[in-house]
């Protein structure tokens, strides 16, 4: 009997030990599952964070790509404009080079013209001076002073060639106009070695007459003798009429005035 109790006790103990082990095992299994679930949750959260970070990087890369694309388009457009601008500059440079070449040719032509014109203008001044000296002696000192001033300007280097030529042409034009005008003026002339104030009548460059202020004597310029010669009293009336016409006091009319023929004195 005591033996059976012992066996029962042993069996009971074994059962309790087994049950305890099973309970412990169950508890350990539960803890293991709980630990695995938490780990899975953490992994899932990490994956979500990684996915969010990846999406953020994708968005940033997309924005950077768009920005780079816009910059590329801008640079491409600028490059096109730059190419057109460079092409225009090249065309403009060619035009300027052509203009420079043309101007150089003109400058060479001007320099050649200057080399030929300067001696010509000097010769023209000398010719004009000789002409005034040998011409009828009307306003002679005034005209000679003008020619001397013209010589100084033409022979100096202070004026442009065009200005020198213009002054020379104006002087020639002024002398040319004397041949087409009628003029009366008062001036001192040399008569018999004396300076006498007379009234002068100039008819173009054809003839030059004088009449004393008292109207008692008249004369004309003899080109051959280079001196004044007295005219007969019969011509005094015609000379007076000529002086009135030149002064605008009477209307023009036909005058019978004597012309001294070179070498004849008449």
Question: Do residues 202 and 208 touch, judged by C-beta distance below 8 A?
Answer: yes
Report the candidate in 134, 140, 144 with the shortest Cα–Cα distance to residue 226: 134
pLDDT band per the 50, 70, 90 thresholds, residue 43: low
Domains of the chain, residue spans: 182-266
* pLDDT digit string, tens, across residues 253-266: 888 888 875 544 45
* pLDDT digit string, tens, across residues 129-168: 999 999 999 999 999 999 999 999 988 878 888 899 899 9
pLDDT at residue 10, as a whole number: 41
pLDDT at residue 221, as a whole number: 95
pLDDT at residue 247, as a whole number: 92
Does 10 or 155 have the greater pLDDT score?
Answer: 155
CA dist 238 and 215 (Å) reads 12
pTM for the model: 0.57
Does 188 or 108 have the greater pLDDT score?
Answer: 188
Q: Which residue has the tokens 């008449």?
A: 266
pLDDT at residue 41, as a whole number: 66
CA dist 12 and 76 (Å) reads 94
Average pLDDT value for residue range 176-188? 93
């Amino acid at each position: 009997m005591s033996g059976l109790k012992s066996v029962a006790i042993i069996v009971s103990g074994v059962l309790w030990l087994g049950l305890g082990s099973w309970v412990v095992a169950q508890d350990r299994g539960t803890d293991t599952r709980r630990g695995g679930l938490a780990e899975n949750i953490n992994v899932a959260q990490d994956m979500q964070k990684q996915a969010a970070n990846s999406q953020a990087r994708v968005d940033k890369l997309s924005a950077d790509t768009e920005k780079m694309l816009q910059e590329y388009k801008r640079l491409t457009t600028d490059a096109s404009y730059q190419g057109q601008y460079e092409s225009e500059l090249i065309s403009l440079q060619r035009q300027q080079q052509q203009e420079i070449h043309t101007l150089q040719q003109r400058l060479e032509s001007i320099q050649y013209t200057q080399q030929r014109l300067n001696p010509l203008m000097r010769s023209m001044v000398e010719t004009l001076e000789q002409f005034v000296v040998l011409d009828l002696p009307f306003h002679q000192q005034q005209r000679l002073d003008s020619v001397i001033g013209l010589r100084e300007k033409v022979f100096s280097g202070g004026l442009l060639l065009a200005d020198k030529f213009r002054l020379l042409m104006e002087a020639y034009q002024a002398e040319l106009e004397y041949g087409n005008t009628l003029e009366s003026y008062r001036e001192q002339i040399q008569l018999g070695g004396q300076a006498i104030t007379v009234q002068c009548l100039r008819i173009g460059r054809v003839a030059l007459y004088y009449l004393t202020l008292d109207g008692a004597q008249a004369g004309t310029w003899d080109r051959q003798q280079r001196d004044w010669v007295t005219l007969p009293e019969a011509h005094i009336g015609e000379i007076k009429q000529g002086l009135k016409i030149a002064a605008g006091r009477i209307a023009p009319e036909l005058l019978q005035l004597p012309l001294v023929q070179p070498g004849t004195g008449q």
